[in-house]
Structure 1
Amino acid sequence: MSEDLSSKLLGPIKLHLRVTWESQDSEIKEYIEEGIAYIDGICGESDYSVSGLPRILLKAYCRRAWSGNTSMFEEDYRRQLLRLQHENGVRRLRRKRNE
């Protein structure tokens, strides 16, 4: 993941976490990178740069990471993760057909 993306997402994620200070920005960026790797590992490559299901899931993951409990994330968000997995699969198929 690029540093630009985690920097771009830092503001919206901090707003979601209600964090106004900057001293933990690097920790939050780490959560963002972890979350993207985790979600992409389950659902395939997703676009987090725009509002939508990938960003909603990333915010939820970061909220869990911020509170120190990501262990139940996959179970609690199973339906949303499956939906994103299907959306990404359909997008890949459409791209292949257009090639």
Structure 2
Amino acid sequence: MLDELKDILDIIGNDRDASLEKIILRGKDKIEGLAGVVLDFSAEGLPKFLLLNYCRYDYNNAPEYFEENFKSEILRMQLQAAVIANVAE
């Protein structure tokens, strides 16, 4: 995940790895909080897409704009999580 984020942010080198790892952890908490379930961020899909974009916003000191700009994708993720949880019951 770290290498993918560094590619998105065009970061070369390891100087910022520790702070990027913290951003990733915050992002996972944020996205799982929005979904209401534990998510798999290792697979390609909407959760990973949202995580990487949240990290991009956080890195650029604009996390407050993330939910507004991705509200349709967040809603789709929430619906997918609810359907999966309902099928599992």
Query: How many angstroms does 1:66 deviate by?
Result: 1.1
| TM-score, normalization by structure 2 | 0.93
Moved runs in structure 1, 4+ residues, more than 6 A? Answer: none
Match of residue 74 from structure 1: 67
| TM-score, normalization by structure 1 | 0.84
- How many residues align? The count is 88
Q: What are structure 2's unaligned runs of at least 5 residues?
A: none
- Structure 2 CA distance for aligned equivalents of residues 52 and 20 of structure 1: 25
CA offsets 1:31-71 (integer angstroms, 9 cap, x no match): 10111101111112221011111111111111111111111
Does 2:8 match 1:13? no
Query: How many angstroms does 1:82 deviate by?
Result: 0.6
Does 2:62 match 1:84? no
Match of residue 26 from structure 2: 34
Percent identity between the two aligned chains: 30
Letter aligned with residue 50 of structure 1: A
Letter aligned with residue 23 of structure 2: Y
